[in-house]
């Protein structure tokens, strides 16, 4: 995380910039003492970048400005070194250690309003590193943000929009923000404080060796530091703080120190007593696919079991959501990039299994059913309380929906219960007078009960146990069959 010069100009236009902290590993590479003739150059560049030192041009008399020695004392004091004002091995060791690119002496404090003026903050990931799988990077970023969410009233929503509050990406040396990276080691990352445009954005140096462990630079640790800057926090002199400028290997549990929690609370207030996790998942689906929210890495042990069955399946735009017990898989755009985890990680208000689900694109809303209740999920929230299915026109003897599918061309939703199905008009919000009808009468070769159903690529897909049948509605016949596991890339 690097801080660049010309901070006054950059911060004035875009908001404050914050580089990331560097990890100092016990088993990491030893930084040799640089040749004496280079020491002054190294120190001068370091103080210019991180301590606002302005060297006098050669041949000019010194003006009334802080001297090299006084700036060096400031740096030594910040890191708890002997405040000598002269270069020594300890001082040079800190100067050559990997660190965040943000300045250590930025002119702002936690009380000056350098914060987001809202508690729901969106973030988007652009270019990824080649060092880690995309899913791993997404997981680590979500966990890093969740560390701050757990300590504050903030909620973070994942977005695929270029208008997100916090834009995150891995970039090369020159990347268009006047703060170039310097290759391996050195500056690891940098961030900009809250604000419009580039404000809140976080950049990671792609030249670094990013890992999920401790042999290279732990992405979770560095990301937590950088996101702290994106929220308005400055560097800390406390080595236990995640906002310490230089990189350190840290325990990933309870990453934030008491000082970090106090500082984020000073900016945004204490965490409210929410009964649900801070993560949110957004079902909004604009012209280009995007989601928002965070989740914890998790794994369903029997994903590729040939007998796998789903409780509910629904499309959400170009994505497909698969529900089983209290677990959820999300497959995007026919790719094998599948995200998964407990349902409550994506939709905190729902902590139960889902019997049926469907999506109405005209409303950007999903409807999830459990027993006689159903929820409307729109935007990033579960809207209101659960409603009873009787409000849709079901008689009291219907106690559960087995499957549901919306066919947007006809504006009708089909509900399947045991060996019957019901037709609901989403436009008029009325149940068809002819409902219910026998499934086998209108869908020959399909025998209920169904596990799930979706309408995709002009065909209905019926999930019956561990089998999936592709059904041609016009020809009224099965035109393909597969196993449920094939839908998860098995």
Higher-confidence residue of 301 and 1: namely 301
Predicted local confidence at residue 37, as pLDDT: 62
- Backbone φ, ψ for residue 112 (5° rounding): -95, 15
Residues 6+ apart with CB under 8 A from 36: none
Pair (247, 366) in one structural domain:
no
Count of domains forming the chain: 2
Alpha-helical runs (H) found in 1-88: 7-14, 36-50, 68-78
Q: Residue 321 is part of a domain; what is its CATH number?
A: 2.110.10.10
Tell me which of 47-61, 160-174, 341-355, 407-421 is least confident: 47-61
Pair (128, 243) in one structural domain:
yes
Percent over 70 (pLDDT), the chain: 79
- Backbone φ, ψ for residue 92 (5° rounding): -65, -30
Cα 469 off chain centre by: 35
State which of 235, 253, 268 marks the end of a domain.
268
Q: Give the residue-averaged pLDDT of 22-28.
A: 38
Q: Exposed, middle or buried by CB within 10 Å (0-12, 13-18, 19+), for 315? A: buried
pLDDT confidence bin for 440, thresholds 50/70/90: confident
Answer whether residue 49 shows pLDDT above 50: yes
State which of 247, 268, 289 marks the end of a domain.
268
Q: Residue 170 is part of a domain; what is its CATH number?
A: 3.40.390.10
**203 marked as part of a ligand binding site:** yes
Pair (131, 244) in one structural domain:
yes
**146 marked as part of a ligand binding site:** no
Residues 6+ apart with CB under 8 A from 334: 318
**201 marked as part of a ligand binding site:** yes
Tell me which of 92-101, 147-156, 316-325 is least confident: 316-325
Pair (339, 248) in one structural domain:
no
Residue 367 β-bridge partners? 358, 376
Model pTM above 0.95: no
* pLDDT mean across residues, the chain: 81
173: tokens are: 């040396």
Q: Give the residue-averaged pLDDT of 319-340.
A: 78
Answer whether residue 300 shows pLDDT above 50: yes
Answer whether residue 140 shows pLDDT above 80: yes
Answer whether residue 202 shows pLDDT above 50: yes
pLDDT confidence bin for 374, thresholds 50/70/90: very high
413 within a domain of the structure (yes/no): yes
Pair (319, 415) in one structural domain:
yes
Specify which of 61-75, 339-353, 427-441 reaches the highest per-range mean pLDDT. 427-441
**18 marked as part of a ligand binding site:** no
**177 marked as part of a ligand binding site:** yes
98 within a domain of the structure (yes/no): no
CA atoms within 13 A of residue 374's CA, in its CB half-sphere: 24
| DSSP type of residue 32 | P
Higher-confidence residue of 275 and 199: namely 199
Pair (261, 316) in one structural domain:
no
Q: Has 226 been annotated as catalytic? A: yes
Answer whether residue 357 shows pLDDT above 90: yes
393 within a domain of the structure (yes/no): yes
304 within a domain of the structure (yes/no): no
| DSSP type of residue 162 | T
Answer whether residue 240 shows pLDDT above 50: yes
**138 marked as part of a ligand binding site:** no
**243 marked as part of a ligand binding site:** yes
State which of 214, 236, 268 marks the end of a domain.
268
**199 marked as part of a ligand binding site:** yes
**229 marked as part of a ligand binding site:** yes
Pair (244, 365) in one structural domain:
no
Contacts 24+ apart (CB under 8 A), 211-218: 211/131, 211/132, 212/132, 212/136, 212/140, 214/23, 214/25, 214/249, 215/25, 215/27, 216/131, 217/22, 217/23, 217/98, 217/188, 217/247, 218/23, 218/249, 218/250, 218/252
Q: Which of 174, 196, 206, 226 is catalytic?
A: 226
Pair (349, 243) in one structural domain:
no
Pair (346, 439) in one structural domain:
yes
Domain that holds residue 321: 312-488
Pair (229, 350) in one structural domain:
no
Predicted local confidence at residue 213, as pLDDT: 83
**228 marked as part of a ligand binding site:** no
């Amino acid at each position: 995380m690097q801080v660049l010069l010309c901070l006054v100009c950059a911060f004035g236009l875009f908001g404050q910039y914050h580089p990331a902290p560097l990890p100092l590993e016990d088993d990491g590479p030893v930084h040799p003492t640089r040749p004496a003739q280079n020491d002054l150059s190294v120190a001068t560049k370091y103080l210019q970048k991180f301590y606002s030192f302005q060297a006098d041009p050669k041949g000019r008399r010194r003006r009334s400005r802080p001297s090299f020695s006084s700036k060096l004392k400031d740096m030594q004091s910040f890191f708890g070194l002997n405040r000598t004002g002269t270069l020594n091995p300890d001082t040079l060791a800190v100067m050559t250690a990997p660190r965040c690119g943000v300045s250590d002496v930025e002119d702002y404090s936690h009380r000056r309003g350098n914060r987001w003026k809202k508690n729901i903050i969106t973030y988007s990931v652009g270019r990824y590193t080649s060092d880690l799988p995309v899913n791993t990077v997404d997981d680590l970023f979500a966990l890093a943000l969740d560390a701050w969410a757990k300590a504050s009233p903030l909620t973070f929503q994942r977005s695929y929009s270029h208008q997100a509050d916090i834009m995150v990406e891995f970039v090369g040396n020159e990347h268009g923000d006047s703060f170039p990276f310097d290759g391996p080691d050195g500056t690891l990352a940098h961030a900009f404080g809250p604000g419009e445009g580039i404000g809140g954005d976080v950049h990671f140096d792609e030249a670094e060796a990013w890992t999920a462990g401790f042999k290279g630079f732990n992405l979770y640790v560095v990301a937590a530091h950088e996101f702290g800057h994106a929220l308005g926090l400055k560097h800390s002199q406390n080595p236990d703080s995640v906002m310490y400028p230089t990189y350190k290997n840290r325990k990933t549990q309870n990453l934030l120190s008491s000082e970090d929690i106090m500082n984020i609370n000073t900016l945004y207030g204490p965490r409210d007593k929410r009964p649900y996790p801070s993560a949110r998942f957004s079902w909004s689906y604009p012209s280009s696919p995007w989601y928002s929210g965070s989740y914890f890495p998790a794994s369903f042990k029997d994903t590729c079991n040939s007998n796998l069955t789903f409780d509910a399946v629904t499309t959400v735009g170009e994505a497909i959501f698969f529900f089983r017990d209290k677990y959820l898989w999300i497959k995007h755009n026919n790719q094998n990039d599948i995200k998964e985890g407990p349902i409550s990680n994506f939709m905190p208000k729902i902590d139960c299994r889902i019997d049926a689900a469907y999506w109405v694109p005209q409303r950007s809303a999903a409807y999830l059913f459990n027993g006689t209740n159903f929820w409307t999920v729109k935007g990033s929230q579960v809207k209101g309380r659960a409603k009873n299915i009787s409000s849709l026109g079901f008689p009291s003897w219907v106690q559960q929906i087995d499957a549901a599918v919306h066919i947007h061309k006809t504006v009708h939703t089909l509900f399947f219960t045991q060996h019957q199905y019901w037709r609901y008009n989403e436009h008029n919000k009325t149940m068809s007078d002819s409902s219910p009808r026998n499934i086998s009468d209108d869908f020959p070769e399909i025998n209920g009960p169904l596990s799930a159903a979706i309408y995709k690529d002009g065909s209905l897909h019926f999930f019956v146990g561990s089998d999936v049948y592709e059904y041609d509605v016009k020809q009224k016949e099965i035109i393909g069959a597969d196993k449920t596991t094939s839908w998860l890339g098995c």
